[in-house]
Amino acid sequence: MDPPFQETYKSLFNDYTIASKDKDDSLMNANDECELPLIDLHRLTLEYSEKEQCVKEIKQAASEWGFLQVINHGIPQEILKSLQYEQRKAFQHPFRKKAEDNFLNLSAKSYRWGNPRATCLRQLSWSEAFHVALTDISRIGDAYKSLSASIKAFTTKANALAKDVAEILAENLGVSSTFFEENCPEETSYLRMNRYPPCPFSSEVFGLIPHTDSSFLTVLNQNQIGGLQLLKNGRWINVKPNPEALVINIGDLFQVLSNDVYKSIKHRVLAPQQVERFSLAFFYCPTSETVIESSIKPSKYKEFTFREYKTQIQRDLEATGDKVGVSRFLL
């Protein structure tokens, strides 16, 4: 069932020495743990003062952390549990079947694992994922109708949640009130279903390497294994899972849109040693031709389209093996 990590990346494991470890080693098992700011979104439906306080807390969490947790978010537990069940079933197929181009009838390269560009263990992600463009949902084969239905139910709700939070965060930034309605139709976003198999080298490789998200916002549902870490004030901090909450984090596009009022924070996932970990990530994205620019002047970034941003990321990955991100567009 598991991808052949050791077999495929044999040379990286053979070349692994103490000297190859980087300065990040001492932080692999960060001792600091935090509970992200917890926001009850039901308060948005209450009287004016309560609503305004909730909005203030959302903006404060996004500004100070780049991450927040939300409860009463509008996505029923039945929908989450249904998709989690279907996700597990999809990953339980043999590796060779999952790696077939026509598995689930998704677009090419929708199934991903490891990191083909890795030149050392620190660049290897001990995980596998189905990266599903929402335009592909209708293509999922009849044999997986229940998976298709679960994905659709979840992404419809997640899209509405992301839009509501994005509009709150965009208040007073000079962004048009119709910006997200006009530029982020549901079909331009993505769902990533992740599985992190047990890893015998959990002190040497990541489950998911440090990165920022190339979206406006990401809505994350994870099981209670733990392992998510974020970089705050130069230190990696463990994020304590909350079974009742979804995690929302700022992506690269919102950092530019807000002119750094909100930051896209680097985060990573540690590889679990003895258990498997699952997560669902919904990436709230615009159309490829959407122009990303800050209305706050002077702007720190030159404007670009989402297509140009994705193209630059691919160029950087091919050239350096790493994502440079929004710093490419600094003025």
Q: Report, as residue numbers or ranges, the catalytic residues.
A: 277
Question: In 3D, which of 250, 268, 260 has the Cα closest to residue 329?
Answer: 260
Peptide bond into 298 cis (omega under 30): yes
Q: Are strands 217-222 and 277-284 parallel, antiparallel or unpaired?
A: antiparallel
CA distance 113 to 135: 22
Distance, C-alpha 18 to centroid of its chain: 31
Pairing of strands 111-113, 128-133: antiparallel
Query: How many C-beta atoms surround the C-beta of residue 51 within 10 A?
Result: 13
Amino acid at 190: Y
Contact 167, 180 (CB under 8 A): yes
Secondary structure (DSSP) of 177-208: TTHHHHH--GGG-EEEEEEE---TTTTTSEEE
Sequence-separated (6 or more) residues with CB below 8 Å from residue 298: none
**Burial class of residue 213 (count of CB atoms within 10 Å of its CB; 0-12, 13-18, 19+):** buried
Type of residue numbered 88: R
Six-digit token pair at 69? 């947790």
Residue 221's contacts (CB-CB under 8 Å, 6 or more residues apart) are: 80, 84, 246, 247, 279, 280
Q: Between the CA atoms of 317, 319, 325 and 329, what dihedral angle is there, to the nearest 10 degrees? A: -140
